[in-house]
Amino acid sequence: MNIILLGPPGAGKGTQAARLIERHGMRQLSTGDMLRAAVAAQTPVGLEAKAVMERGELVSDAIVSALIGDELTAMGPDVGAIFDGYPRTAAQAEALDAILAQHGRALDHVIELEVDEDALVERITGRFTCATCGKGYHDTFERPLAEGTCDRCGSHSFKRRPDDNEDTVRTRMAEYRAKTAPILPGYDARGIVSRIDGMAPIDAVTDAIERVLAGA
Ligand code: ADP
Ligand code: ADP
Ligand code: ZN
């Protein structure tokens, strides 16, 4: 199974991908996570991407498509792939088709999380993650069960992304509208898009995605 989770920043792609991984043993391919790792490791890709990401603009198509290609090559052929935050432009959508074909894979579903833009700023500015295991949380919507302790690994250390501020979020939303939303009609023409209400509670969104994957 190969699926794309599509939606603007804060739509819930990473949150839902984490749940699908736990339930189905699929693998998440998040270009955002790969780029943040490259920035932290100060690789040539990271050095090039850092300032672009801080502005909320898109990193070059060639860089992100190369990251995805490398990751798929490293994965076993029978592991399902969840593309999170990729593709984000028409050129990336084309590159993904070529990469999938090279690996003998085909897209099963494009799942669009539909959200109200006003809610996204609140989601993004309240987002934080465990600094040890990466589990995602929210100040209001998904707090740790025990205050200050990660549910999954027990760590007491959390972090926030430098680009999760209101100014940058507005730029990221504009990038989504201008460059990412236009790739949907191409997938619509292939009959593989499912639209899900991303404003529903986290569990309800997961249930709706499960129904799509089950073909219901
Ligand atoms: P994305 O990967 O699409 O940018 P995330 O999955 O990181 O988005 O979600 C952004 C923030 O919103 C996180 O803090 C997450 O806990 C929270 N969140 C995700 N889905 C929902 C939801 N359905 N309702 C309320 N908050 C949510
Ligand atoms: P979001 O929470 O907005 O979905 P991501 O973690 O997916 O955030 O992306 C963070 C930043 O990394 C983006 O604002 C962009 O600068 C860069 N980025 C991630 N994926 C891509 C991509 N597929 N193409 C171009 N830039 C990307
Ligand atoms: Zn943790």
Find out whether the beta carbon of 86 lies less than 6 Å from any atom of ligand 2: yes
Secondary structure of 126-147 as H, E, C letters: CEEEECCCCCEEECCCECCCEC
**Residue 36 appears among annotated catalytic residues:** no
Spatial distance between the Cα atoms of 52 and 54, rounded to a whole number of angstroms: 5
Span 126-154, average pLDDT: 97
Find out whether the beta carbon of 127 lies less than 6 Å from any atom of ligand 1: yes
Residue type (1 letter), 134: G
From 36, 88, 123, 135, the catalytic residue: 88
Q: Is residue 80 pLDDT above 90, yes or no? A: yes
Closest residue CA from atom 18 of ligand 2:
32
How many whole angstroms from 75 Cα to the centroid of ligand 3? Answer: 24
Which of 28, 31, 52, 161 has the most ligand 2 atoms within 8 A of CB, as the residue to mutate?
A: 31
Find out whether the beta carbon of 172 lies less than 6 Å from any atom of ligand 2: yes
Q: Is residue 54 pLDDT above 90, yes or no? A: yes
pLDDT on residue 18: 94
Rounded to 10°, the helix 44-55/61-74 angle is: 120
**Residue 88 appears among annotated catalytic residues:** yes
pLDDT 10s digits, 145-174: 999 999 999 999 999 999 999 999 999 999
For residues 16 and 113, is the Cβ–Cβ distance under 8 A? yes
CA angle 200/186/110 to nearest 5° reads 35
For residues 174 and 181, is the Cβ–Cβ distance under 8 A? no
How many whole angstroms from 146 Cα to the centroid of ligand 2? Answer: 30
User: Which ligand 2 atom lies nearest to the CA of residue 164?
Assistant: 2
pLDDT 10s digits, 89-112: 999 999 999 999 999 999 999 999
Enclosing H/E stretch for 171: helix 166-175
Nearest to 87 by CA among 152, 154, 169, 179: 179
pTM: predicted TM-score of the whole model, two decimal places? 0.95
CA atoms within 13 A on the CB side of 190: 12
Spatial distance between the Cα atoms of 197 and 115, rounded to a whole number of angstroms: 7
pLDDT on residue 118: 85
What tokens does 36 get? 């943040």
User: Which ligand 1 atom lies nearest to the CA of residue 128?
Assistant: 14
Find out whether the beta carbon of 113 lies less than 6 Å from any atom of ligand 2: no
**Which residue's entry shows tokens 């300032």?**
51
